[in-house]
């Protein structure tokens, strides 16, 4: 039986094998009030879908969460608040072992705006996380990624709360003193705001300001959306989705994050990349026409963990440093693009003249290895492209379509090159992490 047949068997016969989840565990509310993502506006994915969804509700869960949501509250009608994670590490492991394989480019983390969170994670202490949004945020949190985060950072004691509404966005949370009544008293250290139901970035800005009025030190992570009815196989259509990180909304949310000193995560791109790389119909990752099933949830979990763990915190610490600069020929302006405390070298322009690929070297007198990084001219933190644990990677050069990287990989610092352990190599952008060809 091939993977497609196996998935269809799981999806279409699970109702006879497993009971349906309680409503609170399966959906943020009985009705998802997101007018842009309903059966009234079905996506083109239905035309070739191998999955038949129920007329009402969702396909039953193959793996209902094995941990019940604790401290279940309903602050008001249609709003829910509960503790997470709802899955154990053992159950997450089983689901991930059965899900279709796929690859994605790890999103760059933004430690510059998560310094206190990073310190707690790496050095220890209590970290209170609150996730705010809609049923997609609920699905993201139900994936159990917080359990994986706790596993990755055992010194920290992580307490996570989910505050959601079906079709809920900051246009709802900014009203009726919901931030002051329901969030501020919980004293979160980190607030995660996401989903596919945000009406405008100005609503998000207002919630940010209300949060900081009551919690001056709170750190905030803003994320674009995933799932919904936009077809991830159609890049143009996906960019038009009102929650997409690949279109106008992503640009506006990134700008808002920069202006309000928040961290930013494009959840859309790696989610879509994973589904495309699986070579399967997207609906095999859905439980209805809008929401993720267990496999889809684990894509989100993998992306979240990639954000929090790649690159390693010791490497990410340098991303807040003062950058090197590019000189604008028209104005003579010097524009910051990378750190100065490192031996950065061998830069090369990307074909769009908006990115610079370079070798991010070590800090003098400290351990480490040179890695391939990319910097942009829009003020965003540089992001990692490729690294190997026991080799220096430098001599960066990108192909015209940015699909291949040419570089030199050596065991020793390249000021001490030995012929037998230094090779030229290429890497395709679609390759799995740490895969290259000599």
At 306-351, the pLDDT tens digits run 999 965 444 333 333 334 455 444 444 445 566 666 767 778 777 6
Higher pLDDT pick, 318 / 165? 165
**What pLDDT is stored for residue 82 in this prediction?**
93
Q: Is 2 exposed, middle or buried (0-12, 13-18, 19+ CB in 10 A)?
A: exposed
Mean pLDDT of 123-132: 98
Neighbour count for residue 400 (Cβ, 10 Å): 9
The alpha-carbon radius of gyration of the chain (Å, integer) is 22
**What pLDDT is stored for residue 399 in this prediction?**
76
Mean pLDDT of 289-300: 97
**pLDDT tens readout for residues 172-182:** 999 999 999 99
Is residue 26 pLDDT above 50, yes or no? Answer: no
Mean pLDDT of 284-293: 96
- At residue 71 the predicted structure's pLDDT band, cuts being 50, 70 and 90, is low
Is residue 165 pLDDT above 80, yes or no? Answer: yes
Mean pLDDT of 274-286: 97
- At residue 364 the predicted structure's pLDDT band, cuts being 50, 70 and 90, is low
**What pLDDT is stored for residue 339 in this prediction?**
66
144: left (phi over 0), alpha (psi -120 to 50) or beta: left
**What pLDDT is stored for residue 68 in this prediction?**
76
Least confident of 168-172, 362-366, 412-416: 412-416
Separation CA 129–CA 113 (nearest Å): 15
**DSSP H or E stretch at residue 371:** strand 371-376
- At residue 356 the predicted structure's pLDDT band, cuts being 50, 70 and 90, is confident
Is residue 394 pLDDT above 70, yes or no? Answer: yes
What percent of the chain is modeled with pLDDT above 90?
Answer: 57
Closest CA to 409 of 342, 417, 432: 417
Mean pLDDT of 63-80: 84
Higher pLDDT pick, 6 / 245? 245
Q: Is 239 exposed, middle or buried (0-12, 13-18, 19+ CB in 10 A)?
A: middle
Is the bond preceding 311 in cis, omega lying within 30 degrees of 0?
yes
The answer to whether 95 and 285 are in contact (CB under 8 A) is no
Separation CA 151–CA 128 (nearest Å): 16
**What pLDDT is stored for residue 161 in this prediction?**
96
Is residue 12 pLDDT above 90, yes or no? Answer: no
**What pLDDT is stored for residue 402 in this prediction?**
66
**Inter-CA distances, 298 with 92, 118, 217, Å:** 8, 23, 31
Cβ within 8 Å of residue 394, ≥6 positions away: 345, 346, 359, 361, 370, 372, 407, 408, 414
The answer to whether 404 and 392 are in contact (CB under 8 A) is no
Cβ within 8 Å of residue 410, ≥6 positions away: 391, 392, 417, 418, 421, 422, 423
Q: What DSSP state is assigned to residue 285?
A: G
Q: What DSSP state is assigned to residue 229?
A: S
Higher pLDDT pick, 88 / 324? 88
Separation CA 265–CA 245 (nearest Å): 9
Average pLDDT over the chain, rounded to whole?
81
Dihedral sign for Cα 181, 129, 321, 351, please: negative
**What pLDDT is stored for residue 205 in this prediction?**
98
Ordered domains of the chain (ranges, CATH): 3-309 (3.40.50.1110), 321-428 (2.120.10.30)
Is residue 229 pLDDT above 90, yes or no? Answer: yes
**What pLDDT is stored for residue 18 in this prediction?**
30
- At residue 423 the predicted structure's pLDDT band, cuts being 50, 70 and 90, is low
**What pLDDT is stored for residue 362 in this prediction?**
76
**What pLDDT is stored for residue 11 in this prediction?**
43
């Amino acid at each position: 039986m091939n993977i497609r047949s196996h998935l269809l068997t799981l999806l279409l016969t699970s109702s006879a094998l497993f009971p349906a989840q309680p409503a609170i565990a399966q959906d943020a509310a009985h009705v998802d009030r997101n007018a842009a993502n309903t059966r009234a506006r079905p996506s083109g994915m239905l035309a070739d879908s191998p999955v038949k969804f129920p007329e009402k509700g969702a396909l039953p869960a193959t793996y209902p969460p094995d941990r019940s949501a604790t401290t279940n509250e309903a602050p008001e009608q249609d709003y829910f608040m509960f503790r997470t994670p709802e899955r154990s590490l053992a159950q997450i492991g089983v689901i991930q072992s059965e899900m279709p394989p796929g690859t994605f480019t790890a999103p760059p983390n933004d430690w510059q705006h998560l310094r206190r969170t990073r310190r707690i994670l790496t050095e220890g202490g209590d970290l209170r996380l609150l996730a705010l949004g809609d049923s997609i945020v609920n699905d993201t949190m139900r994936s159990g990624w917080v359990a994986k985060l706790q596993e990755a950072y055992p010194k920290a004691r992580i307490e996570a709360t989910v505050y959601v509404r079906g079709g809920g966005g900051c246009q709802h949370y900014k009203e009726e003193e919901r931030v002051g009544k329901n969030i501020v008293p919980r004293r979160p250290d980190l607030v995660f705001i996401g989903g596919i139901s945000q009406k405008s970035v100005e609503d998000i800005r207002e919630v940010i300001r209300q949060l900081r009025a009551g919690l001056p030190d709170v750190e905030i992570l803003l994320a674009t959306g995933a799932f919904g009815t936009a077809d991830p196989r159609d890049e143009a259509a996906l960019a038009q989705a009102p929650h997409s990180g690949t279109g106008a909304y992503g640009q506006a949310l990134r700008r808002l994050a920069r202006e309000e000193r928040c961290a930013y995560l494009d959840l859309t791109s790696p989610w879509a990349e994973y589904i495309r790389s699986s070579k399967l119909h997207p609906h095999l990752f859905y439980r209805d026409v809008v929401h993720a099933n267990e496999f889809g949830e684990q894509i989100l979990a993998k992306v979240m963990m990639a954000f929090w763990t790649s690159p390693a915190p010791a490497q990410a610490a340098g991303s807040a440093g003062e950058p090197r600069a590019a000189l604008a020929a028209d104005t003579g302006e010097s524009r910051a693009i990378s750190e100065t405390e490192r031996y950065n070298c061998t830069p090369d322009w990307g074909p769009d003249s908006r990115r610079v690929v370079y070798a991010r070297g070590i800090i003098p007198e400290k351990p480490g290895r040179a890695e391939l990084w990319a910097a942009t001219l829009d003020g965003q933190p540089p992001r990692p492209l490729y690294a190997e644990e026991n080799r220096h990677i430098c001599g960066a050069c990108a192909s015209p379509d940015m699909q291949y990287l040419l570089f030199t990989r050596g065991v020793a610092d390249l000021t001490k090159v030995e012929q037998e352990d230094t090779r030229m190599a290429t890497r395709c952008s679609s390759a799995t992490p740490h895969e290259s060809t000599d």
